[in-house]
Structure 1
Amino acid sequence: MRVGRWLGALGLVLAALGGMDRVGGEAPGPAGIRILVVRTEAEARDAIAAVRAGARFERLVRERSIGPERERGGYLGRIDPASLPPAARTALDKTKRGTLSPVFPTDEGFAVFQVLTIQEEEELEARARRAPEAQALLKRGTESGKAGDMEQAASLLQRATELDPDLADAHFNLAIVERRRGRLDAAIASMRRVIELYPEDFDAHMRLGSWLTEQGSHAEATRMYERAAALQMDSREAWLRLAQSYEAAGRARAAVSAYRRVIGLVDGDDPALSAALFRVAMQAGDGPMAVEAARKLLASRPGHEGFMALGEALLLNGEADAAILEYQKAVALAPASVAAHVALGSAYARLGRAEAAAERFLRAVELEPGNPIHYRSLARLYEGQGRLDLAIVALRDGLGAAAASAPPGLQADLREELSALYEKAGMAREAERERRRAKSLRP
């Protein structure tokens, strides 16, 4: 939990506002102003458009400004116009309370003023007066949380945020407390407020990303991790979370880049990271990267699984002959591995070596006679050779194996394929029979 990492901004404002009395509902002297400074005139005009569309000026300052008092929402207090440079003074002279000034140039780029209303100034004054109490509540709430009294901590911290809505430490600690109380939505809401107040808070982005993932809001979680990785480019944890988030969202190509970044930040080889990179590279269809990752995995997977992975990657990369060599190694190391025989058979089939492929598929059938998928692979191989009689026999045997345990949907698929084979063979009656049987298996 945090205590006093940031001073309450309004404690600084009090000096600017103190000693000024209201007369007739209007403040004597200059009005309070906020400022946003950006590099280009186009950015300044875009900010004005965003405010007119409903965005809060102070939030835009925290997110975009390169000027003064960014963490305070650009609040400068009351400024004597005579003390300003000519361009700023001219812009301020044209601006009424509660409105934005025209864009004007500064040494850093271009700027916009927001002139506060009397009500806004009064709220700032009141908030400044409440700031000491809010800080005291923050301290007490934090101590209660550390002592394990989450109910009391939540009550005190909630009150602190009500007294000073910009007290980021109170929002942060309240988020932690709410999470420990099991109130995930409340924790997320409080941490969002921290990020609104301090857009460059790395820890807040990381925690919020984790909670959003837990909530199932994966797209927003990904955005949090993207921002965290941008804030700390050398953070292994941020890039790892981002890679995992991309992978969960099915964004395999982005995940490849993120996992590569993680690996670049780690000293030595990490088998778990290499496995993750291999996995997403295969999903992305990135053959070269899959091969690179699979070769690294060989050191940590000395058994047949390592050769299987490398064979799979080589096949994806269009290197079927090289893939066959790896699959042969896998079969030699694990002659009872059904997966190794099937993979080798598929590689042979890809190269048009039908007899060698059939031998592997038949071996898979011998090792796992109850799996109808092996019979289907064999039937498709025979069909490709024009050997419809053997294809029909293989698929019929597969249906016999499927009857014991295969789900109805798979059985229906197999019967439809058998129907198509009968049709090709000119056996119309048998084809119609299988179509009816397939239909009866569909919901």
Structure 2
Amino acid sequence: MAWAGTGTAVQAQETTRGAADAAVQGVEIAAVPVAVDAARGASAPADAEGSSSDDLEQRAYQAYEDEDWPEASRLIAQAIALAPDQAGLYRLKAYIAAATGDDAGVLSAAAQALQRDPGDAESLQLRGSARARAGDAQGALADYAAALQAGWHTSGFFRNYLYVLNQQQANARMLEVYAAYEDAYRRDPEGTGLHPDIPFHAAQAYQHLGQPRRALALLDQAIAQSPQVAGYYGNRALAQHALGRSSQSLADDARAMQLDPTEPLYPYNRGVTRLDMGDAAGALQDFKAAVALGKDDADTWLNIGVVQERLGHTREALAAYDRALAKAPGNAKALTNRLSLLGKAGKGDAAAVAAQAASLPTENQAQLLFNQGQAQTRAGQWQAAADLFAQAVRLDPGLDTAWLNLGVAQARLGQHQRALDTFNDYIQRAPLKTLGLLNRANVLHELGDDGAAEQDLLRAAQLEPGNLDIQQRLASHYSRTGQTDKARRYYAQLVKLPGNLSPDAFINYAAMLLQLGDSREAAVVAANGVARFPDDYGLRVNLGNALGDSGQHPQAVEAYRAAMRLQPARLDAHYNLGNLYLQQLKQPRKAVQEYRTALKLQGDPALDASGQREQRMDIHLNLASALADTGDTDAARGGLQAAIDDAPDDYRPWFNRAAMALSAGNPAAATPDFEAAWLRLDALQRAQAQPDPALQEHAGYVLFHLGRTGEAAIRMQQVLQAQPDNIDAQRNYGYMLLDLGRPQDAKQLFDQAFTREPDEVDGWLGMLACAMLDSDPAQLGRLKRQFDQRFDRRYVLTAGLPAQLMRSEGYWYSDRFLQLWRQLLVAE
């Protein structure tokens, strides 16, 4: 992994970007001297021609406004000769000097004014600006502070003050001065006035302090006041990028490039954003444009190397890293990336590469290990990644991103307590960074401490009150913890907000509504999301899901087709459309076509290697089911064999192939596959720290099929302890208890299942068997009459009914139950 890229989900961003200043950078001295008080003329001293000092001051002021600088200078000098103790005359002289670029003259005149009136705020700010222009930043800041204390509050003054503070990166003081400006503007908006550079500089303070959301709000103000300044858009692009809003960042950089096509930072920064989005080709184009405009430096060639590496161009990447090192021979980042690439590509002498790596500064050796760890995470090798991240933090304990990624890797390995300890350490190191809190909340949820998880999310929301992503995480937390009323309130507010809301809010809200069974409302939410983000692939797929579940099948098909047009290489839309054809439209041949197409395409890039394998397995299994529904059992078995070949350690294709053999009336062929399924399922369960009810239920089925009924019953009992309303588990446990000779216990389970699903024929067989064994003719007679009325000759109570259900509808009954059923019917 190279330096310009990102790591795993929910982690810090380390990207080489450039700050983009606004077009006007220098300190400006306002061209607005104080107006002359006409009432002063009566007692003012006069020269030989009878002109008083006040008359001369007024004429000097008029010449100043007429931009007749020599005349203004001559007249103000005469006025000072007549009244050398008037501070206001020296102040006007300072303005005249400023107009001609005479900074020394400004300093001299302002000093004279301040000798006569040390608290003159206007002269203090004049001298401060002249000192700033002369390079005396500390003297300027002292004068500006005194002017502010004396009550000076024009927008030009605040703009200059913030500019100098920004040059010194005095971020905390910048925010104090900005607060003073806001207070002055509230008290005297007309006298204070607006200047777009004021929110611009305050935004840079927030950006330096790692608070891009507040920076974004201020840059919005600057652009609203002056929409033609390229630097405002360039800096807003930086804030958008820091917030993960890539499309908005690209748009702002593009606007900055339109306004100032000669500035290389704008294509450079857009290249970094494109690189983060996975658009390596677009990023390469932008970096080359930056070089052409003059940004021919180590950072640019470093990122060109990263792009070429992403594109698989090893030779070009190495050449780019060499160019970076030629520009900056000591650039450890470029050397680190170069060594990473040499090691990955197997190029160069391994010992020489290792020696070069060992010669790096310790922090760069740690970064090299960190890069290697990120490469492992992308491959889904979480243990290897965790080992590398652990080595990185041992070398450089201050590498916060390595601590963060170590916790992420530990969590992915199921080592939740270790991950919690790691995130606790990270949060101690970086208590104000919300990434640690968000990741710790995930781990706390896995550990079952949802209360503490909620507190972390609320703390993150408090740290970044306008962060919509955190609000979405809170909504998701409330959804997954069953607090659906809170979740709905959060989501309902989020999707109505204007601005830079992520499509995920619509996707997750619609998904929650689908889980709650509110499919029509889910379709409305998803449709609103598509209207807001028409080019978002995930929203289109989400809309298809909602429309399908709400019975709007033609519209669902069109939503999936629209998603396919947006991203033809993605499999999700084809997979979900296949599910719609198979499960709801009962068109298995069309489902087969979609599943086969899906298997040729790319999975969700957000999924790691394990997730990708899981997604492919689901498609294999559904393809086999669809093929079986078309009547092509040979092709269905072939599909399951392809699934086995793809993931030989997964128990599910073995289980499904065994079930297919049972349906075909071939239990002998089913047994080896059930045994193979059990070996894999048992190994999977043993590897888990906590029992998974779904796996326990499958284990119960497999053991029951293998005739290990006592063990199967124990598993099913454990399932019902965790999921007491699991109807399928109730019925299956009932049949197990019948085989074990416990009809009274079985009857309770069948009765519970019947109250929830009275039309399930499988449950009826269990209740009838229990009634026959109970020797209660009246109850048995009532059940038989109810059975006939409910199923109206669709099913007939005969000795062959269980076998018929096994052949035609996929049910399965043990040999012991089939024998019991025949005996009971004969006895009747």
Normalising by the smaller structure, the TM-score range is 0.3 to 0.5
Task: Compute the TM-score of the two structures, normalised by the length of structure 1.
Answer: 0.46
Q: TM-score, normalised by structure 2?
A: 0.27
Question: 1 or 2, which has the higher strand percentage?
Answer: 1
Larger Rg: 2
Relative contact order, higher structure (CA 8 A, sep 6+)? 1
